[in-house]
Amino acid sequence: MASFEAPLKLVKKQMPSTFKRIHFPLAQPIAHTMNASHDLPYSPAVPAITSRLPNVGTTIFTVMSVLATQKGAVNLGQGFPDFARDPRIVDAVSNAMRDGHNQYPPPWPARRYAISEKIGRLYGRQYDAEREIAVTAGATQAILTAILCFVHPGDEVVVIEPMYDGYVPAIELAGGKPVFVSLEAPDYALPFDKIAVAITPKTRLLIINSPHNPTGRFWRTVDMQKLDEILRGTDVLILSDEVYEHMVFDGAPHESVCRYPDLAACSFVVSSFGKTFHVTGWKVGYVVAPAALTTEFRKGPPVQRLHREYADAGRHCGIPEGPRSVPRVTRFLSAKT
């Protein structure tokens, strides 16, 4: 300790007298400066937080998926397939990455034109690929962005339950108020009288989902006509979640909002490559809407712009005929029912 004491004595001698009583721990053996509390590992304090979603806990989907894994059970609680994807999809993505397409892509419109072609062929409405279509990081991001862009604090959003568990947290993050309308047992009929009552001057958005998660119920022509009557003359927007559009197995066509001009004029229609081509972990979705709505949508949280090699409807599934391959997907899934 001698090497420390001489310099410290010099420092003390040069300091004002009022500071000479300061204890210099370096002048003491290190063991003398330790106590029981210092022997414990340092743990920084976590700042106090106030949750913006205090009512959201572990979702039932997570609970059921964990239980299914633990028990080796069939998991009916979450919408992912238990069969392999088309190997051509993986080849197309691998080729794109090996070719160096791993950064932000240029604004190639091919993927949006493929989506526009598909919707026009199936549902008879032509969306402008440049102004009315956005590719997103999964359908959930499309839903979240649409809600955050258009629901203001205090706005009401009508949701039909049971429902996908991502709707209500998004509404609450936007400061909106969810208004619940329940499907009617035993056949999960749509209660249009209750939907009509739920629509008020405070209503900003109505969320519909067909085919429905989790019941499988899907909207028919008469349902869309009734909805058109209820919303006529209002400023209510529609968020139509159609991620299971190609999973209708009784030969009836999927009744997309896109088929109905008055409804389409006030709607975001959301779909999912991940669900359609059973690669749910890739998180690739899209949303179509009139140009004015899409302009606002693109101001929202940034979307994941995917490369043409694996985002447009044709190359994503690795089939040369592009969006014309979609009916083949429906036949493939129908064979598994």
pLDDT digits (tens, 9 = 90+) for 197-230: 999 999 999 999 999 988 889 999 999 999 999 9
Cα–Cα distance, 276 to 79 (Å, whole number) = 11
Q: Is the pLDDT of residue 245 over 80?
A: yes
Average pLDDT, the chain: 80
Of residues 101 and 172, the one with the higher pLDDT is 172
Q: Is 311 left (phi over 0), alpha (psi -120 to 50) or beta?
A: alpha
Q: Is the pLDDT of residue 86 over 90?
A: no
pLDDT band at residue 11 using 50, 70 and 90 as cut-offs: very low
C-alpha dihedral (50, 153, 145, 202), degrees to nearest 10: 140
Of residues 180 and 65, the one with the higher pLDDT is 180
Other beta carbons within 10 angstroms of residue 186's beta carbon come to 5
Of residues 313 and 334, the one with the higher pLDDT is 334
| Those residues with Cβ within 8 angstroms of residue 226's Cβ, 6 or more apart along the chain or in another chain | 190, 192
Residue 65's pLDDT is 84
Mean pLDDT to the nearest integer, 158-165: 93
> CATH 3.40.640.10: does it fit domain 109-334?
yes
> Of 273, 323, 286, which is closest to residue 93 (Cα–Cα)?
273
pLDDT band at residue 260 using 50, 70 and 90 as cut-offs: very high
| Those residues with Cβ within 8 angstroms of residue 57's Cβ, 6 or more apart along the chain or in another chain | none
Cα–Cα distance, 113 to 147 (Å, whole number) = 25
Residue 336's pLDDT is 63
To 5 degrees, how large is the angle CA 111–CA 117–CA 120? 140
pLDDT digits (tens, 9 = 90+) for 107-124: 567 778 889 999 999 999
Residue 37's pLDDT is 55
Q: Is the pLDDT of residue 333 over 80?
A: no
pLDDT band at residue 79 using 50, 70 and 90 as cut-offs: low
Cβ 291 vs Cβ 88: under 8 Å: no
Of the chain, the percentage scoring pLDDT greater than 70 comes to 75
Cα–Cα distance, 322 to 117 (Å, whole number) = 10
